[in-house]
Structure 1
Amino acid sequence: MAAATASSPLNLLGFNRKPIFHCKLSSPRCRPTFLMPPGRVPSNSIARTGRTFSNPPSYVLTCLVIPPPPKRQKPKAIIQFIGGAFIGAVPEVTYSYLLEMLAMEGYLVICVPYNVTFDHAEITRRVSERFSSCLDSILGSGLPDLGLSALEVSDLPLYSVGHSNGALLQTLTGSYFSERIPKANVIISYNNRPASEAVPYFKQLGLVVSQMLPVAATFPVNSVVEVASGNAWKLLLDTAETVVPNYDLKAFGSFMTRFTDQLPLIINELAEGISEFKPTPPENLESIRELYNVQSTLLVKFDSDTIDETDQLEETLKPRIETFGGKLEKAVLSGNHITPCLQELRWEVGNVYTPADALGQVLKNVSVNDTRRLATTITNWLDLLSH
């Protein structure tokens, strides 16, 4: 593992694999429903928004499912993926390269999109419910397109990978719940800062918003959002099409809509005078210190990440994990807070190879080297758990 330091010795060779999911096939919750939620983009459009997946992703209920390549007969395990605040709502765009790398290594990736609010406990509950509903749906009939039966899927170990705010939600999930929790967590760029530090001047902004609400109430907010996600984005989308040929403008516009759909929730909370996350950061740490119960944990931080709080989490987790004989490791990699979101540049060389083409090829490789290293670190560590 690149630049890894162990918080405690890891010996994963004796870890027994057991079925971790149980689902009555007669239960209505287990009946598969492969429906596209409102505003969702069909899977055949996803591949045209910057990445081409080796096996087309699809939505199962509200979760994005990315299967491993068709040549693999059975996935190694299931990875639940939770992205950062706001960007976690559109993982097929914001994390597409990293997610494809994980799937290419044989993992069945289930991404859980979510909308941001100040209530982290509520978000954690919603993410858990969405994931469970998606998993129950898959367990009801397996994955026919991959030739996997429900029994084969139920036997797969469950791991979780989260980034930034998603990393915080991982730790809270592992502290709030005792059933259907991951066998292992990969916690990337953990951040548990107060709202005043996450977004400065929250209190002042809340006061301004509350004063403006009587005026704002006279305007059709939904129409404004529609215009913002339509006409206002047109210039950006036209530019994207020029830079990246074959960009699916309709799909990308839908993604932008899902970004803006989160704004009313935040605005309403600010207007109500909410200026801090609930639970507070100290309360989150207390829950983790007393209740965290995930057997194996890998902490990942980047050497140029200025808002990372992985070291604080490590200090909190270490004594807790020692109480139940769990495992804790830490990896320090090159990169910054947005490294998991970097995408591979599409640079097509023209008829004449120019210095600009040479620079483009270099940038194409450099832009995702750290992301590739992250994916390799994750998959190598998870692979060890299965031996």
Structure 2
Amino acid sequence: MDWQEISGNWVLIPRHPVGIVHFLGGAFVATAPHLTYRWLLEQLAEQGFAVVATPFVNTLDHSAIALSVLQSFDRTVAELHARSLLRRRYLPIYGLGHSMGCKLHLLIGSLFSVERAGNILISFNNFAARDAIPLVQQLNHPAFAVEFTPSPVETNNLVQERYSVRRNLLIKFSNDTLDQSAALSQLLQQRFPNMVTAQTINGSHTTPLGQDVKWQSGSTFTPFDAVGQWFKQEVYRDLNQLKRTIILWLKPLATV
């Protein structure tokens, strides 16, 4: 499998897809998701999921970004069908978001009519602009009062009243001070009782950005090689736990 750029999205298509994952990354690493989240997304493709990763540039208007990435995703899926890269048959579509990408999937599921088999929301946060953008803190003057659209309170209200995706997995990392999944979990549990799974696993806010570490031992195994292998195991422990958590939710009978 190789990454392809199709209609503005980065796409990875396994030979016999069992579903489609629409991926949206964090605010400042979302412009090249096939690079910044490469390892995690390729692991999902190896499990049979077609991956459509939509790049975006962050602005204050999150509703407009949500509409833009949804339209971009729909264009790419239509192009995949037109090129016969995806067969025209039903495949469940799952939203997968990290950080700001979670908010965008929540807005997509609240503002637009979409059919989703579920959403996976990793390290959700819903900060106000003054907390998310350092420059705004410096411009502490009424004339420079800016806020995301929708605001954090408006986002919560939209989710509480209009969010339509019933099945959700919320993943929080044990060492993540930016995470706001607990409050979101309460909102979703009220809306869809017994349809929301919340898990806390080891890692930090940047764990999903982990990449493959190529460590090639020499002809003789040295103490330096041992340190290198230990480092690789430490890096992969949290990343592999994240992969297993996602795949077992998507495919409960999978062996990972």
TM bucket (normalised to shorter chain) is over 0.9
**Is residue 100 from structure 1 mapped to residue 36 from structure 2 by the alignment?**
no
Aligned 8 A contact 1:161 1:187 in 2: yes
What does the per-residue CA deviation read over 1:207-261, in whole Å, with 9 as the maximum and x for residues that have no partner? 8xxxxxxxxxxxxxxxxxxxxxxxxxxxxxxxxxxxxxxxxxxxxxxxxxxxxxx
Higher-RCO chain (CA-CA 8 Å, sequence separation at least 6): 1
Say which SS state the counterpart of residue 80 (structure 1) adopts: strand
Deviation for aligned residue 1:140: 2.0
Q: Which of 125, 139, 142 is the matching residue for 2:84?
A: 142
Tell me the residue number matched to 2:112.
177
Percent identity among equivalent residues?
36
Cα distance in 1 for residues equivalent to 2:59 and 2:253: 34
Tell me the residue number matched to 1:158.
93
Aligned 8 A contact 1:203 1:273 in 2: no
Tell me the residue number matched to 2:102.
167
Aligned CA distance change for structure 1 residues 62 and 274 (closer, same or farther; 3 Å): farther
Could you say what the CA RMSD is over the residues aligned between the two structures, in angstroms? 2.0
Structure 2 letter corresponding to 1:183: A
Cα distance in 2 for residues equivalent to 1:201 and 1:116: 15
Aligned 8 A contact 1:66 1:103 in 2: yes
Cα distance in 2 for residues equivalent to 1:113 and 1:133: 14
Deviation for aligned residue 1:67: 1.8
* Alignment gaps of 5+ in structure 2: none
Deviation for aligned residue 1:385: 9.9
Tell me the residue number matched to 2:10.
64
What does the per-residue CA deviation read over 1:12-38, in whole Å, with 9 as the maximum and x for residues that have no partner? xxxxxxxxxxxxxxxxxxxxxxxxxxx
Cα distance in 2 for residues equivalent to 1:303 and 1:94: 21
Structure 2 letter corresponding to 1:67: I
Say which SS state the counterpart of residue 232 (structure 2) adopts: helix
Tell me the residue number matched to 2:128.
194
Cα distance in 1 for residues equivalent to 2:84 and 2:170: 32
Deviation for aligned residue 1:194: 1.0
Shift >4 Å, 4+ stretches: none
Mapping of residues 216-227 of structure 1, within 5 Å: none
Cα distance in 1 for residues equivalent to 2:83 and 2:35: 28
Deviation for aligned residue 1:198: 1.7
Normalized per residue, the structure richer in helix is 1
Aligned 8 A contact 1:206 1:275 in 2: no
Cα distance in 2 for residues equivalent to 1:368 and 1:206: 42
What does the per-residue CA deviation read over 1:101-130, in whole Å, with 9 as the maximum and x for residues that have no partner? 111111111101101101111111111111
Structure 1 letter corresponding to 2:101: G
Deviation for aligned residue 1:205: 4.8
Aligned 8 A contact 1:345 1:363 in 2: no
Tell me the residue number matched to 2:236.
368
Structure 1 letter corresponding to 2:209: C
Cα distance in 2 for residues equivalent to 1:116 and 1:169: 11
Tell me the residue number matched to 1:109.
51
Structure 2 letter corresponding to 1:103: A
Deviation for aligned residue 1:274: 5.7
Tell me the residue number matched to 1:260.
none
Say which SS state the counterpart of residue 153 (structure 2) adopts: helix
Aligned 8 A contact 1:304 1:337 in 2: yes
Say which SS state the counterpart of residue 369 (structure 1) adopts: helix
Cα distance in 2 for residues equivalent to 1:125 and 1:102: 25
Tell me the residue number matched to 2:159.
288
Structure 1 letter corresponding to 2:228: G
Aligned 8 A contact 2:6 2:79 in 1: yes
Aligned CA distance change for structure 1 residues 67 and 308 (closer, same or farther; 3 Å): same
Tell me the residue number matched to 1:347.
215
Which protein shows a greater Rg? Answer: 1
Cα distance in 2 for residues equivalent to 1:293 and 1:385: 26
* Alignment gaps of 5+ in structure 1: 1-54, 208-271
Cα distance in 2 for residues equivalent to 1:76 and 1:370: 26
Aligned 8 A contact 1:190 1:310 in 2: yes
Say which SS state the counterpart of residue 126 (structure 2) adopts: coil
What does the per-residue CA deviation read over 1:281-338, in whole Å, with 9 as the maximum and x for residues that have no partner? 101101011000102111111111111000010111111224xxx7111111111101
Cα distance in 2 for residues equivalent to 1:112 and 1:182: 16
Aligned 8 A contact 2:25 2:98 in 1: yes
**Is residue 86 from structure 1 mapped to residue 25 from structure 2 by the alignment?**
no
Tell me the residue number matched to 1:302.
173
Cα distance in 1 for residues equivalent to 2:7 and 2:132: 31
Structure 1 letter corresponding to 2:180: E
Cα distance in 1 for residues equivalent to 2:249 and 2:20: 14
Cα distance in 2 for residues equivalent to 1:107 and 1:206: 46
What does the per-residue CA deviation read over 1:51-109, in whole Å, with 9 as the maximum and x for residues that have no partner? xxxx11101110111122xxx4x211011111111201111211011011111111111
